[in-house]
């Protein structure tokens, strides 16, 4: 998992005891917001998919998110040379030349996020907050192994759950950020200095076949 993915930013990948441990290889004190990173699965998926993965926070603070239905504005797609360069700096992803949905979870980066924990669904380009639900994930010191996360996207409908607990569902009526998004790429993102372990990542067309 992720070793052949497209890395943008200073991501450090190592084998963990049960999965892949991801962190930043940058010193946030030195590079600020450019210490964060994004990893893209190179496969472009059709619409109507289930995204599943397991997540274990190891040390914080930090934040984790997942992008999906991500496409580039240029005809060549997300990884085209015609796209603006990306190096993990967040505005490049939410207000640049990318259309995408993304769920931010384990939002433990800032004191305000830790004081009232939510999972947020945003639609870009434009950084539109379109849905929100409670975040049941505990601090890293209290984590009990891995947590199962799941996103289902069926056309304009998106649902998100952790350990089979539904956290939000949203229907895109096309009133915010343009028409509903279809298929596209899936990516993982972390804000430094979060260290977390991932395993059992899979994208499954809702008609059947799984892509690891």
What is the pLDDT at residue 29? Answer: 84
**Token pair of 107 as six digits:** 């939002």
- Angle, alpha carbons 107-110-113 (nearest 5°): 50
Q: Which of 48, 37, 55 shows the shortest CA–CA distance to 149? A: 55
Task: Give pLDDT, residue 211.
Answer: 52
Q: Measured between alpha carbons, how far is 80 from 75 in angstroms, rounded to an integer? A: 8
Whether pLDDT at 144 is above 80? yes
Instruction: Please identify which residue in the block is written with the tokens 């084998």.
Output: 15
What are the pLDDT digits (tens) for 49-96? 999 999 999 999 999 999 999 999 999 999 999 999 999 999 999 999
Contact 183, 70 (CB under 8 A): no
Q: Quick check: 209 pLDDT over 80?
A: no
Q: What is the pLDDT of residue 84?
A: 97
193 preceded by a cis bond (ω within 30 of 0): yes
pTM summary value: 0.94
Res 208: pLDDT? 55
Instruction: Fold for 6-205, please state it.
Output: Jelly Rolls (2.60.120)
């Amino acid at each position: 998992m992720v070793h052949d993915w497209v890395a943008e930013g200073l991501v450090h990948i190592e084998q963990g005891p049960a999965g892949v441990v991801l962190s930043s290889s940058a010193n946030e004190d030195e590079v600020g917001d450019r210490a964060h990173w994004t990893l893209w699965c190179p496969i472009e998926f059709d619409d109507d998919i289930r995204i599943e993965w397991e997540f274990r926070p190891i040390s914080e603070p930090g934040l984790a998110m997942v992008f999906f239905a991500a496409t580039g504005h240029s005809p060549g797609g997300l990884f085209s040379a015609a796209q603006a360069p990306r190096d993990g700096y967040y505005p490049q992803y939410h207000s640049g030349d990318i259309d995408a949905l993304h769920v931010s979870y384990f939002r433990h980066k800032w004191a305000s996020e830790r004081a009232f924990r939510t999972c947020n669904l945003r639609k870009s380009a434009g950084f539109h907050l379109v849905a929100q639900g409670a975040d049941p994930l505990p601090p890293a010191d209290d984590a009990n192994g891995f947590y199962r996360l799941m996103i289902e996207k069926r056309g304009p409908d998106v649902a998100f759950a952790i350990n089979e607990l539904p956290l939000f569902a949203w229907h895109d009526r096309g009133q915010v950020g343009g028409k509903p998004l279809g298929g596209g790429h899936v990516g993982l993102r972390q804000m430094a200095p979060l260290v977390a372990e991932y395993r059992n990542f899979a994208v499954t067309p809702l008609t059947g076949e799984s892509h690891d």
